[in-house]
Amino acid sequence: MENASKALLIAGGVLLAIMIISLGVYLFANFGGITAQIGQNVEESQISKFNSQFITNVGKKNVTIYDIVSMANLATQNNQQYGFQKQESLGNNYYIAVILQGKGQIEFGIEASEDYIKKYYDEQLIIPQVNNIDNTTGLTYYDVQVDISPETQRVHKVTCIPK
C-alpha cells in the first residue's frame, strides 16, 4: 500500500510538472507573437513617419524650390546614411531620388561634400529662381509626385514638375 501511495504521488508530481511546462511553452509562444507584432507596428510607424516628410508636399499648391531643396536634403541624408552613391539611384529601393524636371536628379550620396551640396543648391536652383522674380511673378510653384517602393514601402522617388 505504501508503494502504491508513493507511485500515485510521483505520477501526480510528473503530471503537475508537465502541466507547468506546457503552460510555460504556451505563454512563451503567445508573448513571442505579441512581441513580433509590436516590432512590426513600430517598424510600420517609423516608415510612415519617414514617408510623411515627402508625402506632405503632394497635392500642395504652393510648393517652392525651397521645399524641393529640403526634400533633396532629406533624401541626401538618407542616401549618405546607407552609404549610397548617386549612380546607384533607381536600382536600389532604399535610395531616394529627387528629380526636378529640367534639372534631373538633384539629390546626392556619399560622394558629395556638404559644402558642394549647399553651393550646388544655391547656385543651380535657388539663386536662378530668385533672379527671375519680377514685379508680377513670384517663385515658381511645383507639383510633387511620390513613388513608394513595393518591396520596402518607403518613398524611393520624388518627381517635381513646374506648374
Could you report the per-residue pLDDT of 70-106, keeping only the tens digit for each? Answer: 999 999 999 998 888 876 655 667 889 999 998 889 9
Pair 29, 83 in one domain: no
Region of 102 please: left (phi>0), alpha (psi -120 to 50) or beta.
left
Which 8-state DSSP code applies to residue 88?
G
Per-residue model confidence (pLDDT) at position 67 = 94
User: In terms of residue numbers, what domain contains 103?
Assistant: 56-162
Pair 101, 158 in one domain: yes
Pair 70, 136 in one domain: yes
**Domain boundary pick from 55, 72, 90:** 55
Are the beta carbons of 99 and 106 closer than 8 angstroms? yes
Map grid coordinates 553651393 to a residue.
119
Per-residue model confidence (pLDDT) at position 91 = 60
Mean pLDDT score of the chain, rounded to an integer?
A: 87
Cβ-Cβ contacts under 8 Å for 109 (sequence gap 6 or more): 76, 79, 80, 83, 84, 85, 86, 87, 88, 95
* Mean pLDDT value of segment 129-141: 77
Pair 31, 63 in one domain: no
Pair 73, 50 in one domain: no
Pair 65, 19 in one domain: no
DSSP letter string, 126-150: IHHHHHT--SS--SPPEEEEEEE-T
Pair 94, 16 in one domain: no
What is the total count of domains within the chain?
Answer: 2
Q: pTM of the entire structure?
A: 0.73
Least trusted range by pLDDT, from 22-31, 61-70, 88-97: 88-97
Q: Which residue has the higher pLDDT, 71 or 140?
A: 71
Write out pLDDT tens, residues 101-123.
988 899 998 888 989 999 999 99
Instruction: Flag whether pLDDT at 162 surpasses 60.
Output: yes
Per-residue model confidence (pLDDT) at position 7 = 84
Amino acid at 156: H
